[in-house]
């Protein structure tokens, strides 16, 4: 497909995303010996996907790395809320989305997503864009981990523009924020959407740069932290903080809404949920504790590089 002299190569995007899913699963598998359970599914309205899940293994308590490619005759409400001019267009959406919940409370949860959308209408130019990013949710903060995470993100962005890291870091901080709690979900990372400013070829290259950098950002952290000794107090705090993760995904996450509103596979959409979680009424950490430090030192607007 050509748009204003550009070739929109949807097949190349799909092949990259399938390869990214394979690569991330293989690299995580080199750390954790567990076996991924794979489900291939078909969406009745159009499209389907390939979901891979790892549950209750030695290092990863629950992880999911999903590929989906869905299409339909009309954009869902979650997509047209911010782009009303797209109402009535047929669409295609494809992407890889992953969440890793480690066993050890000292190993942070991580999330990543890269995606491509195109909305088309007869007699009109197609509208397309890339989106994605990744964010980190620690339970016990670590300066080395946070700096490494953000430096890797910055390096991925700097290849394209020295302005992108600060722009997409700030967007991530704003997006992954629980307004009803007045606190961030974690220490952020990158978030970008509606991205087509470099033209198709270079916008696609930027999305690939972000997707390819995830493993370099996260796996060294997982390798450093998964063997740290912990007790029941740390485990209970991890489960409590996981509640915030669930709240964000169910209340604020646009990707969850998009998946549900397009009739996506519910099991795959909600694979991001941790296997165990707890809520406790009006709980606050002991002043000066490691748990309190998470709030005062890490869950704040902060520059990491």
150 assigned binding-site residue: yes
Q: How far apart are CA 203 and CA 195, in angstroms?
A: 7
Exactly one of 82, 111, 148, 226 is catalytic; name it. 111
Which phi and psi (to 5°) does residue 195 adopt?
-95, 110
Average pLDDT in the 119-131 region?
A: 89
Residue 4: pLDDT band (50, 70, 90) is low
Q: How far apart are CA 15 and CA 18, in angstroms?
A: 5
Q: DSSP label at 285?
A: P
Q: Is 148 a catalytic residue?
A: no
Q: Domain coordinates of the chain in residue numbers?
A: 10-298
Please state which of the ranges 13-22, 81-90, 183-192, 212-221 shows the lowest mean pLDDT.
81-90
pLDDT given at position 32 = 85
Q: How far apart are CA 130 and CA 190, in angstroms?
A: 13
Which numeric CATH code is attached to 10-298?
3.40.1500.10
pLDDT given at position 78 = 67
Residue 55: pLDDT band (50, 70, 90) is very high
264 assigned binding-site residue: yes
Q: How far apart are CA 33 and CA 24, in angstroms?
A: 14
What percentage of residues in the chain have a pLDDT greater than 90? 78
Residue 35: pLDDT band (50, 70, 90) is confident
111 assigned binding-site residue: yes
142 assigned binding-site residue: no
Please state which of the ranges 3-17, 48-62, 183-197, 251-265 shows the lowest mean pLDDT.
251-265
User: Does residue 218 sit in helix, strand or coil?
Assistant: helix
127-181 per-position pLDDT tens digit: 999 999 999 999 999 999 999 999 999 999 999 999 999 999 999 999 999 999 9
Helix axes 199-225, 10-29, angle to 10 degrees: 10
User: Does residue 177 sit in helix, strand or coil?
Assistant: strand
Question: At a CB cut-off of 8 Å and minimum separation 6, what does 66 contact?
Answer: 21, 49, 50, 51, 52, 96, 97, 98, 268, 271
Q: Quote the distance between the C-alpha of residue 232 and its chain's center.
A: 29
CA-nearest of 235, 243, 252, 299 to 273 is 243
Residue owning tokens 């991205």? 195
101 assigned binding-site residue: yes
97 assigned binding-site residue: yes
């Amino acid at each position: 497909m050509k748009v204003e002299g550009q070739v929109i190569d949807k097949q190349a995007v799909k092949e990259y995303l399938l390869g990214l899913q394979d690569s991330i699963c293989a690299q995580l598998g080199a750390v954790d010996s567990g076996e991924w359970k794979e489900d291939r599914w078909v969406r009745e309205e159009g499209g389907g996907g390939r979901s891979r899940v790892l549950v209750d293994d030695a290092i990863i308590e629950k992880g999911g790395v999903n590929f989906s490619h869905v299409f339909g005759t009309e954009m869902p409400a979650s997509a047209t809320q911010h782009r009303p001019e797209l109402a009535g267009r047929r669409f295609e959406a494809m992407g890889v989305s992953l969440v890793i919940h480690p066993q050890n409370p000292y190993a942070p949860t991580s999330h990543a997503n890269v995606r491509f959308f195109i909305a088309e209408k007869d007699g009109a130019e197609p509208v397309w864009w890339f989106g994605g990013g990744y964010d980190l949710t620690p339970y016990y903060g670590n300066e080395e981990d946070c700096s490494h995470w953000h430096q890797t993100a910055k390096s991925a962005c700097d290849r394209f523009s020295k302005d992108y890291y600060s722009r997409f870091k700030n967007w991530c901080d704003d997006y992954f924020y629980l307004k009803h709690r007045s606190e961030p979900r974690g220490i952020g990372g990158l978030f970008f959407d509606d991205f087509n400013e470099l033209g198709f070829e270079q916008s696609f290259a930027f999305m690939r740069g972000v997707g390819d950098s995830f493993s370099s950002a996260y796996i060294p952290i997982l390798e450093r932290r998964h063997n740290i000794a912990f007790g029941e107090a740390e485990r209970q705090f991890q489960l409590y903080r996981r509640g915030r993760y669930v709240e964000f995904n169910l209340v604020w996450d646009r990707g969850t809404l998009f998946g549900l509103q397009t009739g996506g596979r519910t099991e795959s959409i909600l694979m991001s949920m941790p296997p165990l979680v707890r809520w406790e009424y009006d709980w606050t950490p002991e002043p000066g504790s490691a748990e309190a430090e998470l709030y005062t030192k890490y869950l704040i607007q902060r520059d990491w590089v």
